[in-house]
Homo-oligomer: A and B are copies of this chain.
Amino acid sequence: MEEIKVFCPATIANVSCGFDVLGLALDSVGDEMTVRKTNEKGISITKIIGQDLPLETTKNVSGVAGLAFLEKSDYQGGFLIEINKKIKPGSGIGSSAASSAGAVWAMNELLGKPFSNLELVQFAMQGEKLASDVAHADNVAPAIYGGFTLVRSYAPLDIVPIPTPSELFATVIHPQIEIKTSDSRKILKTNITLEKGIQQWGNVGGLIAGLFKTDYELIGRSLQDHIVEPIRSILIPGFDAIKTNAIEAGALGCGISGSGPSIFALSKGRDIAERVAESMKATYSSIGLPFDIHVSKVNTEGVKRIA
């Protein structure tokens, strides 16, 4: 195989209670990427459609992730990358992760899968480091593994795939405002009370158990974040109204996607997820804030070949 075209899923990190450890992949929101083998060493980004992003390898997240891949590979050639960028950078649904994960997953396929998913995550994390100064894995892990993933530990890196109930749908609304990832991290407090910590790890345990048991009610009860959401939501206009209305429309839970500004809700079944989307649209329309909105099944495959 000389060339591959892949779908690179958008992802929701944190998933309310799981700050920095949990993430999930979306099924119908993502980039497309074509990767081709070349005899010339190194990585060349030949074309980016849809967004104004740097073509220079060391300034592009897929280039940097690809270089990390090449450094550990004994392959003597290189790769050409073309990106059809459908996820807006800065939206909070893993735009950089999709490009980083997609590039290394595609390269691995083209070389006959020399690397494990865990190794691919490690390469893709270098792209994340370029994008946000932190080599976090909570978006690239679900992008590569699919479904829900838990980053149990960073040192050593330990990724745990978690089962995805088949009727789980996400609704994601992206208000057209800009929040810098660095700002949304800066406003977090470095200390939390032990009491809130206990609530948080109770909910992480509950969410993981709910996913294993396919217990939608338990999943819903566990989608709570007493630590990060109260602070970060200040930066997102209308957050409380969106959340209240989404829950009223039947969502299991609702929270900030990654560092925002996108807001996600999880629902049982597509019908409820669509109803939640209508309620979110109405809420932002009433305050006159432009938005993009998506309804998607939770993707259980991660990056996948489409041609």
Interface centre among A150, A189, A190, A218 (most CB of B within 10 A): A150
Interface centre among A189, A204, A218, A221 (most CB of B within 10 A): A204
Contact across chains for B202 and A151 when beta carbons are under 8 A apart: yes
Closest Cβ of chain B to A210, distance in Å, is 8
Contact of A197 with B by CB under 8 A: yes
A17 to B18, CA, bound (A): 15
Contact across chains for B160 and A209 when beta carbons are under 8 A apart: yes
Contact across chains for A205 and B153 when beta carbons are under 8 A apart: no
Contact across chains for B200 and A152 when beta carbons are under 8 A apart: no
Contact across chains for B153 and A203 when beta carbons are under 8 A apart: yes
Q: Scan residues 179-209 of chain A and give those whose CB is less than 8 A from a CB of chain B.
A: 188-195, 197-209
Q: Scan residues 128-157 of chain A and give those whose CB is less than 8 A from a CB of chain B.
A: 150-153
In the complex, which residues of chain B have a beta carbon less than 8 angstroms from the beta carbon of A209? Answer: 150, 152, 160, 162, 208, 212
Contact across chains for A198 and B150 when beta carbons are under 8 A apart: no
Q: Chain B: which residue is nearest A152 at the CB level?
A: B206
- If A191-B193, A206-B160, A209-B150 touch, does A201 touch B199 (CB 8 Å cutoff)? no
- If A201-B18, A202-B21 touch, does A221 touch B191 (CB 8 Å cutoff)? no
Q: How large is the interface on A (under 10, 10 to 19, 20 to 34, 35 or more residues)?
A: 35 or more
Contact across chains for B197 and A153 when beta carbons are under 8 A apart: no
Picked from B152, B188, B198, the residue with its CB within 8 Å of the CB of A202 is B152
Picked from B153, B160, B190, B192, the residue with its CB within 8 Å of the CB of A199 is B153
Closest Cβ of chain B to A43, distance in Å, is 32
Contact of A124 with B by CB under 8 A: no
In the complex, which residues of chain B have a beta carbon less than 8 angstroms from the beta carbon of A153? Answer: 199, 202-203, 206, 221
Contact across chains for A193 and B193 when beta carbons are under 8 A apart: no
- If A202-B152, A208-B209 touch, does A194 touch B194 (CB 8 Å cutoff)? no
Contact of A19 with B by CB under 8 A: yes
In the complex, which residues of chain B have a beta carbon less than 8 angstroms from the beta carbon of A19? Answer: 194, 198, 201
Interface residues of A (CB under 8 A from B): 17-22, 150-153, 158, 160, 162, 188-195, 197-209, 212, 218, 221-222, 227
9 interchain residue pairs of minimum CB distance: A152-B206, A201-B201, A212-B212, A201-B204, A21-B202, A208-B208, A150-B205, A197-B197, A191-B191
Show 17 A/B contacts (Cβ-Cβ < 8 Å), sorted by A: A19-B194, A21-B202, A21-B205, A150-B206, A152-B203, A152-B218, A153-B199, A153-B202, A160-B209, A189-B194, A191-B192, A192-B192, A192-B193, A194-B227, A197-B200, A204-B205, A208-B208
